[in-house]
């Protein structure tokens, strides 16, 4: 962690964070916390969050993407652009840095929580909790950082407007979905404000409960699609990855398959001699990562040995950052553990908020995830290492597949998207209530629909902006300013 100190708004108290993390905790009464929310409402009226007008000095959105590309793997950038150009929604998924700059110039409250930083619809989903039950939560934390709670809500609700347009929904249908998310967030936060502290901490949404709500919202076709998607998520584990991502070489050793440019084993990237050296480096990295785990998980990891590694392209916005998959083996070759090593760069929010408390951005991601999720991957950890080019980079580690699944947003009907928006709104409120002051935020939101309407208004106006940015992006590709490789 950094030496400098800073003040962080927390659940009913203010914490002064230092490297030693031994600062005094000031506990406030519920009355004092509610007063903070009302004071924030006076400073930043909810109506001031409505609408969107681009400032005259707004950054060139294509220039923002070009700047991001400077720190990424050059040959993978066209793949990123190719995935972003598919639709306005996929562009939005990759445009977190553009929106962060836009949000920074808007009115903002002083009510902070741990932000996802990229809380669009496709960054919510299912995963397996340590008790192996599937739960639903926010599931992407590359951009996580403490900040104004409403930034995540604005990112979420705008993503609903963008997705609704991609699906061909009319304004009335989209407005219902936009309002559903904001209303669910507000109501959930007011419930969490009344919760006992431990009840709030343990609150989670099981997929079995989610299935009941989905069945009530969708038709038979939508229900069957949901059931297939959940069955697919349940099957995604290291054993499944073993069957899909490995082969046996001529010496009888298991190896990760080669499917360039999306999956490239280390020996193909570097050649036999260099790959052997890198394999030694990976083993050293694993030992460093092991030290970031609690002792029981460290003991578990020590039962596995390193077998192979490959570069694997993932996601949309993350494409171009360095991501590896690592095959570990336990008692025999049929006992796999697949880990993902993913580069953690500075959050896109940092230029507009504050530097992370954590000197290692991998730790920033892991600590943010643990704070926002009611249950997290047991193998979460981090490390820093020098790359092939000699530059030091931060990484976080998690299991590659651990019951992970995402909703098929591009196939949803209006009523189903509205239900999904409600679920995401509740989930985001729960994540914020764990780290922020639920009483103060609930007091700011109030009991009426003023906040809901402000978010819905902003969402539609920002969806207009996203369409303009997407058009500029398409032009940049057509003119050759940006390279895009489609179909990958």
Domain assignment of residue 318, given as a range:
238-399
Q: Is residue 124 part of a domain?
A: yes
Q: 328 and 220, same structural domain?
A: no
The bridge status of strand 124-128 relative to strand 25-27 is: unpaired
* Cβ neighbours of residue 436 closer than 8 Å, sequence gap 6 or more: 9, 10, 11, 111, 112, 113, 114, 149
Q: 226 and 369, same structural domain?
A: no
Q: 451 and 426, same structural domain?
A: yes
DSSP-derived 3-state class of residue 396: strand
Q: Is residue 220 part of a domain?
A: yes
Q: How many CB atoms lie within 10 A of CB 309?
A: 24
Q: Is residue 189 part of a domain?
A: yes
CB 116 within 8 A of CB 140: yes
Q: Is residue 485 part of a domain?
A: no
For residue 396, the cross-strand partners are: 342, 382
Half-sphere exposure of residue 60, counting CA atoms within 13 Å on the CB side? 9
Q: 245 and 367, same structural domain?
A: yes
* Cβ neighbours of residue 467 closer than 8 Å, sequence gap 6 or more: 88, 165
Q: How far apart are CA 367 and CA 361, in angstroms?
A: 10
Q: 354 and 284, same structural domain?
A: yes
pLDDT value, residue 300 = 96
Q: How far apart are CA 154 and CA 178, in angstroms?
A: 10
Q: 208 and 143, same structural domain?
A: yes
User: Cis bond leading into 200, ω under 30°?
Assistant: no
Q: How far apart are CA 192 and CA 199, in angstroms?
A: 9
pLDDT value, residue 110 = 97
Q: Is residue 13 part of a domain?
A: no
How far CA 279 is from CA of 51, 286, 301, 481, in Å, comes to 52, 11, 17, 37
pLDDT value, residue 3 = 28
Using 70 as the pLDDT threshold, list the residues of the chain that sit under it.
1-23, 214-219, 272, 275
Q: Is residue 40 part of a domain?
A: no
CB-based burial label for 352 (10 Å; 0-12, 13-18, 19+):
middle
Q: How far apart are CA 257 and CA 337, in angstroms?
A: 16
Q: 447 and 365, same structural domain?
A: no
Q: Of 364, 399, 434, which one is at a domain's C-terminal end?
A: 399
Could you give phi then psi for residue 36, rounded to 5 degrees?
Answer: -60, -40
Q: 392 and 415, same structural domain?
A: no
Q: Of 374, 399, 424, which one is at a domain's C-terminal end?
A: 399
Domain count for the chain: 2
Q: Is residue 147 part of a domain?
A: yes
Q: Of 399, 418, 444, which one is at a domain's C-terminal end?
A: 399
Q: Is residue 315 part of a domain?
A: yes
pLDDT in tens, 4-59: 333 333 444 333 344 445 568 889 999 999 999 999 999 999 999 999 999 999 99
Radius of gyration of the chain (CA): 22
The closest alpha carbon to 338, from 293, 399, 279, belongs to: 399
CB 107 within 8 A of CB 50: no
Q: 307 and 291, same structural domain?
A: yes
Scored b (16 or more CB within 10 A) or e, 467-488 reads: eebbeebbebbeeeebebbeee
pLDDT in tens, 331-372: 988 899 999 999 999 999 999 998 999 999 999 999 999 999
CB 208 within 8 A of CB 126: no
Q: 180 and 69, same structural domain?
A: yes
Q: 369 and 245, same structural domain?
A: yes
Interhelix angle 149-166/171-193, nearest 10 degrees: 150
Q: 340 and 251, same structural domain?
A: yes
């Amino acid at each position: 962690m950094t030496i400098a100190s800073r003040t962080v708004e927390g659940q009913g108290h203010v914490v002064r964070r230092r490297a030693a993390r031994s600062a005094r905790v000031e506990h406030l009464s519920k009355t004092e916390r509610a007063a903070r929310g009302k004071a924030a409402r006076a400073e930043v009226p909810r109506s001031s969050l409505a609408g969107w007008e681009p400032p005259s000095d707004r950054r060139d959105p294509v220039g923002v993407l070009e700047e991001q590309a400077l720190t990424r793997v050059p040959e993978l950038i066209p793949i990123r652009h190719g995935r972003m150009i598919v639709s306005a929604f996929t562009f939005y998924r990759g445009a977190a840095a553009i929106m962060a700059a836009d949000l920074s110039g808007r009115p903002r409250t002083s009510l902070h929580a741990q932000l996802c930083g990229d809380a669009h619809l496709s960054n919510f989903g299912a995963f397996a909790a340590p008790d192996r039950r599937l739960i639903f939560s926010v599931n992407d934390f590359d951009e996580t950082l403490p900040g104004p709670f409403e930034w995540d809500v604005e990112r979420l609700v705008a993503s609903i407007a963008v997705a609704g347009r991609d699906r061909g929904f009319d304004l009335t249908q989209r407005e219902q979905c936009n309002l559903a998310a904001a209303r669910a967030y507000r109501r959930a936060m007011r419930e969490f404000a009344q919760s006992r502290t431990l009840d709030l901490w343990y609150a989670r949404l099981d997929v079995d409960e989610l299935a009941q709500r989905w069945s009530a919202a969708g038709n038979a076709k939508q229900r069957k699609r949901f059931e297939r998607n959940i069955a697919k998520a349940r099957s995604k584990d290291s054993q499944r990855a073993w069957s899909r991502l490995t082969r046996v070489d001529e010496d009888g050793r298991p190896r990760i398959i080669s499917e360039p440019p999306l999956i490239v084993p280390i020996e193909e990237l570097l050649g036999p001699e260099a790959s052997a050296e890198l394999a030694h480096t990976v083993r050293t990295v694993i030992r460093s990562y092991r030290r970031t785990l609690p002792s029981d998980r460290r003991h578990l990891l020590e039962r596995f040995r390193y077998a192979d590694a490959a570069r694997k392209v993932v996601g949309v916005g993350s494409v171009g950052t360095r991501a590896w998959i690592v095959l570990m083996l336990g008692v025999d070759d049929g006992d796999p553990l697949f880990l993902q090593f993913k580069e953690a760069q500075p959050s896109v929010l940092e230029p507009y908020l504050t530097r992370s408390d954590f000197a290692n951005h991998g730790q920033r991601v892991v600590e943010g995830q643990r704070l926002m999720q009611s249950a997290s991957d047991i193998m979460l950890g981090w490390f820093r290492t020098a790359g092939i080019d000699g530059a030091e980079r931060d990484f976080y580690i998690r299991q590659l597949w651990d019951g992970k699944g995402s909703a098929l947003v591009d196939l949803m009907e209006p009523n189903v998207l509205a239900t999904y928006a409600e679920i995401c709104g509740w989930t985001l409120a729960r994540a914020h209530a764990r780290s922020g002051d639920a009483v103060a935020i609930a007091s700011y939101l109030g009991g009426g629909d003023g906040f809901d309407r402000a978010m819905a208004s902003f969402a539609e106006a920002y969806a207009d902006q996203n369409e303009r940015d997407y058009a500029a992006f398409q032009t940049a590709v057509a003119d050759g300013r940006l390279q895009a490789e489609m179909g990958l």
